[in-house]
Structure 1
Amino acid sequence: MKKKFEVDWINLPIISLRGETSMKLREHKSFVRFWTASTTSNFGTYITTIALQVLVVVNMGGSAVDVGWVSASRWFPYVLLGLIAGVFVDRFHLKTVLVVTDMGRGIIFAFICLLAVTGVLSIGWLMILLLLFGAMSLFNDAAHQSFVPQLVPRPLLTRAYARLEQSAAVAETSGPAIGGGLVLWIGAPFALLIDAVSYLFSGVLMATVKHQPSDKVKSGPLGQQIKEGLQWVYQHQYLRTLALNTHVWFLFHSMTMTILVSFFLIELGFDASLLGFALASAGVGAIAGTSLSSRAGERFGVGRAMAFSRILYAPAVILIALAPSAINSEPQNIAMIFAVVGQLLYGFSMGIEGPLEMGYRQFVTPSHLHGRMNASLRSINRSAVVIGAPLGGAIADGQGFLTALWIYR
């Protein structure tokens, strides 16, 4: 059976999901707590997605390049510490890592709010604080992905990741809309404070999760353990192809996301509320995508379902690029339709592929390599963001938003 999984991976979801019919995720109380904590922090994160960029563009008078550098600073720790984080996570208790990093991230956002309110926050200070936030997010991400197999049996992994993706999609749907309203009501700095509270709550709830710890990796040479994680990913027959494809996707995704907020605010003339609804529509698409993800994997196979979802990104960005500019005095509702439909399709694509990719990666990887596998992939993916975010901002400032979007498609 193991040989079957290694060779015929495209049919993995059919094999791995057949044993799930008699199992229910809600019966795993620890996973429910973990799910609740993750959903809470996700809501705060998507509020921050709009609040942080509005803070830079509107409150601080920043340009698209500033948005790019601020975004890159959040992901820069993945370049420096990504591989080390995988070794760390495999050596220590995952729940401790999750609790400490959630608490730390809450404190950082509360401090950003304080600096913004007192008028001393600059782009430089914001980048430094987001570097610290990114470092904590790096360790949290590696531990978060690796923690799920300690909460549910392997036959439930794909379904568990689908539920996590669905709750994230709900947060993505509601968060930007709520965030846009909060920014108008209480201002961007205090909207960030909402995210701080969500992280603190998540950390407290995460501390109550009971789990079955996996065997920890014995201490050894750091370089050797990093090498083992990289070899597993890039010498595996199918993980290698998946990883390389995903790295390229993250490069262009970061370029697109860097200019999208500025494009909506400046080129299309949206206010913070309309911006929130436009971004929220991606979450609606993601909910639909995650709901169909497992079925798509069973019906077409993991490889085909993921390939189809990634092809859909091109028409999604093209629709957004075709939205009529406010400069041309076109009715704003027409631009909103193009933006919403494009975001819906973009979110749908992400929703289809997310659970399938995560379930497959965790399933084929031995438990003692989960941390290093996840951190290796995420560190290089985020390294692509560090390159793509400022590059996207530079192209948008130099060539214009529309030219940039047509390049990214």
Structure 2
Amino acid sequence: MAGLLEHRGYVRFWFADAVSTVGSSVTGLALQVVAVVTLHATGAEVGILNAARWLPYLLVGLLVGAIVDRYRRKPILVGADFARAVVLGVIPLAAGLDVLSLPLLIAVVLVFGTLSLVYDAAHQSFPPALVPTGLLTSAYARLEQTSAVAQTGGPVFAGAMIKVLGAPIAILIDAVSYLLSGVVLATVRTRTEEVAERTDQPRNLRREMGEGLRWVYRDSPLAPITLTSHVWFVFQGVMTTVYVVFVLNTLGWSPAWLGVTYAFTGIGSLIGATASGWAGRRFGVGPAIIACRWLSPVSFLTVPLASDDAFGIVLLCAGQLVLGFSLGVDSPIEMGWRQSITPSALLGRMNGTTRSFNRAAIVIGAPAGGLIADHYGTRTALWVGVGGMVLQAVLLHRSSFRHARLTTPA
């Protein structure tokens, strides 16, 4: 930790990330509550709403990754934050004017998702310019811990705030958080040059996107973890969509209780992120991440088994705790490893390619989950999600990724 605190640029980046993450944890719940409770959306409609958030990753993700590698990342981050604040402000404004509808909500989420795509491609590629390579795993672990804290308190706070003030006001708070994040990011100074290599040479987007694809799927050890991540995200899209409908409609719990279950994801993630550095060193990248991937079906197994009594809430909270722990351990190790083996000039394309296809998988899984729930019931859809999680764990376990090891100190 002391080593990270010596890099002031990273500390400011960390703070800005914390501010926007707290706001986003509120909006993540508020958007779905607006759809289900206020606009009375069906399971399929909730799936379309969730898919709209990630559709830009499918449509222009590769292009954005290549473009990000051409420019300094800080101005991209600042501009995306300011723009997201404006876009989110449309929702409370529309609610105040009594013109909020599901098509408008989906349109806003689509634009917001496009801006988030740009931000994410630059965000994941920015820490290598702020800290030495040896501190990357620790740097990503601190970001994961911050996200975990936000996930812990954010949903509970959001549930209470939605009950008292309404979901649109909760979304307005997130808009303000993006403004503050952008202001702080504008003050960050990097320790190394950000400009991508070969910026004085003619550019060819098609060739550059191809370079990113080849690096991720052919010319590096990234292919097994990347491909199985796509499978994970398909069924995570199924589970996330159906989970909200299941808790609010099938079990009949309030948004506040939904927020409580999500808070346990944050608690588990905080614990996992704290242990991630040790787990990576002790077991190696491959074994540690594979173990986490097996925890996914275990955690989701609790959802279709839950009932509408106190024991059901305990099961849901336990499942979210295990899920959060697995993500908390997995994410910093995986991100540190990806960044450490990828050349600087390819970071934007590597992150853009990976996130694009992961989010494209949600675009498939979210509507599919909603449709299955509408036609065959929420519990059936949840069992489909559990089966998919078992599949991704088996595929990764049997791949060459099990031999991956950390090559730099945490």
Scaled by the length of structure 1, the TM-score of the pair is 0.92
Task: Map residues 98-247 of structure 1 onto 2, 5 A cutoff.
Answer: 98-211=77-190, 212-217=192-197, 218=199, 219-247=202-230
- Structure 1 residue 404, shift from structure 2 partner: 1.0
Q: Which residue of 1 aligns with 2:406?
A: none
Structure 1, residues 240-265: CA drift from partner, whole Å, max 9, x if none? Answer: 11110111111111110111111111
Distance of 1:345 and 1:216 partners within structure 2: 39
- Structure 1 residue 285, shift from structure 2 partner: 0.6
1:384 aligns with 2:361: yes
Distance of 1:215 and 1:188 partners within structure 2: 41
Question: SS state of the match for residue 182, structure 1?
Answer: helix
> Do the aligned residues in 1 keep the contact of 2:151 with 2:266 (CA within 8 Å)?
yes
Distance of 1:213 and 1:130 partners within structure 2: 34
Q: Which residue of 2 aligns with 1:341?
A: 318
Match of 1:255 among 238, 260, 278: 238
- Structure 1 residue 215, shift from structure 2 partner: 3.5
Percent pairwise identity: 46
> Do the aligned residues in 2 keep the contact of 1:229 with 1:373 (CA within 8 Å)?
yes
Equivalent residue letter for 1:206: L
Structure 1, residues 72-94: CA drift from partner, whole Å, max 9, x if none? Answer: 11111111110111111111110
Task: Map residues 321-400 of structure 1 onto 2, 5 A cutoff.
Answer: 321-324=304-307, 326=308, 332-400=309-377
Structure 1, residues 48-73: CA drift from partner, whole Å, max 9, x if none? Answer: 11110000001111111111101111
Equivalenced residues, count: 382
> Do the aligned residues in 2 keep the contact of 1:285 with 1:344 (CA within 8 Å)?
yes
Q: Which residue of 1 aligns with 2:41?
A: 62
After TM superposition, which residue ranges in structure 1, 4 or more long, deviate above 4 angstroms?
A: none
> Do the aligned residues in 2 keep the contact of 1:110 with 1:193 (CA within 8 Å)?
yes
Equivalent residue letter for 1:311: W
> Do the aligned residues in 2 keep the contact of 1:230 with 1:376 (CA within 8 Å)?
yes
Structure 2: where are the runs of 5+ without partners? 387-410
233-242 vs 354-363, which moves further: 233-242
- Structure 1 residue 165, shift from structure 2 partner: 0.4
- Structure 1 residue 237, shift from structure 2 partner: 4.3
> Do the aligned residues in 2 keep the contact of 1:162 with 1:290 (CA within 8 Å)?
yes
Structure 1, residues 329-364: CA drift from partner, whole Å, max 9, x if none? Answer: xxx321110110011011111111100110000000
Distance of 2:59 and 2:362 partners within structure 1: 13
> Do the aligned residues in 1 keep the contact of 2:73 with 2:194 (CA within 8 Å)?
no
Task: Map residues 25-36 of structure 1 onto 2, 5 A cutoff.
Answer: 25-36=4-15
Distance of 2:223 and 2:194 partners within structure 1: 25
Structure 1, residues 150-202: CA drift from partner, whole Å, max 9, x if none? Answer: 00000000000000000001001111101101100100111100110111110
Structure 1, residues 266-317: CA drift from partner, whole Å, max 9, x if none? Answer: 1222112111111111111111111111111111110000000000111111
232-241 vs 80-89, which moves further: 232-241
> Do the aligned residues in 1 keep the contact of 2:234 with 2:365 (CA within 8 Å)?
yes
Equivalent residue letter for 2:320: Q
Q: Which residue of 1 aligns with 2:292?
A: 309
Distance of 2:94 and 2:59 partners within structure 1: 27
Match of 2:258 among 265, 275, 287: 275
CA RMSD of aligned residues (A): 1.1
Equivalent residue letter for 2:37: V
1:50 aligns with 2:29: yes
1:404 aligns with 2:381: yes
Equivalent residue letter for 1:213: E
Distance of 2:370 and 2:335 partners within structure 1: 30
Structure 1, residues 313-332: CA drift from partner, whole Å, max 9, x if none? Answer: 111111122111x3xxxxx3
315-324 vs 46-55, which moves further: 315-324
Equivalent residue letter for 1:280: A
Distance of 1:122 and 1:297 partners within structure 2: 46
- Structure 1 residue 214, shift from structure 2 partner: 2.7
- Structure 1 residue 213, shift from structure 2 partner: 2.6
Q: Which residue of 2 aligns with 1:290?
A: 273
- Structure 1 residue 227, shift from structure 2 partner: 0.6
> Do the aligned residues in 1 keep the contact of 2:56 with 2:110 (CA within 8 Å)?
yes
> Do the aligned residues in 2 keep the contact of 1:214 with 1:367 (CA within 8 Å)?
no
Equivalent residue letter for 2:127: V
> Do the aligned residues in 2 keep the contact of 1:259 with 1:392 (CA within 8 Å)?
yes
Structure 1: where are the runs of 5+ without partners? 1-20, 327-331
1:319 aligns with 2:302: yes
> Do the aligned residues in 2 keep the contact of 1:110 with 1:196 (CA within 8 Å)?
yes
Question: SS state of the match for residue 312, structure 1?
Answer: helix
Q: Which residue of 2 aligns with 1:300?
A: 283
Equivalent residue letter for 2:316: A
- Structure 1 residue 231, shift from structure 2 partner: 0.8
Distance of 1:297 and 1:321 partners within structure 2: 32
Scaled by the length of structure 2, the TM-score of the pair is 0.91
> Do the aligned residues in 2 keep the contact of 1:176 with 1:280 (CA within 8 Å)?
yes
Match of 2:55 among 76, 88, 91: 76
Distance of 1:119 and 1:65 partners within structure 2: 24
Equivalent residue letter for 2:241: T
